[in-house]
Amino acid sequence: MATLQYLWKHRAKFSAGSIHFYKAWGKRIFTIKEVLQRNSRRTKLINGGAIICKTSEIGNIRAEGNKCNLTIGAHSFLGKAELALHDQITLGKYVCINDGVKLLSGSHNINDPFWKLIKKPIIIHDYVWVATNAIILPGVTIGKGAVIGAGAVVSKDVAPFSVMVGNPAKPLLKKKKRIFYV
């Protein structure tokens, strides 16, 4: 939810006594608990060092690690997602992260006998949609306008405006149909 100050400043204003006035205030009263919970989560992240734009929507996320590693741009949405903040995770503007998504900025080297931690940043550029239950692995950069399909496991960089599906994620090869109007 956007910050309380932002919501109040940009609220719909209707003349007192009109049906729209009562509908708006009814909605505000019935949703106040959810608004306060979402703002509480936002405040905890910001107090931990995260940088979150005032218009971003933060759902019930599980963010483990250093909160200073989280940056979220304007008008972005995070659903019920898991974030492993071992390294920087940056979300651009108008990014949609659906429920069940995992953003993992840390992993282990399987060839290392000491099982050392590997940390690499995750960068998600503007206008990206990451669908339900997708997993983004360390060091991945997702280009502007890309779509990550449900359940995809992304281990390599994603080109702008591409659609990635599967495990491991691969570009969806689909030709667009041309429509001719007479």
Active site residue ranges? 108
Please state whether the peptide bond connecting residue 113 to the residue before it is cis, i.e. omega within 30 degrees of 0: no
List, in sequence order, every residue forming a beta bridge with 82; answer none if it has no partner: 62, 102
For residues 151 and 133, is the Cβ–Cβ distance under 8 A?
Answer: yes
Q: What spatial distance separates the first Cα and last Cα of the chain, rounded to whole Å?
A: 46
> Look-up: residue for tokens 């205030």?
25
For residues 95 and 145, is the Cβ–Cβ distance under 8 A?
Answer: no
Q: Which H or E run contains 41?
A: helix 19-47
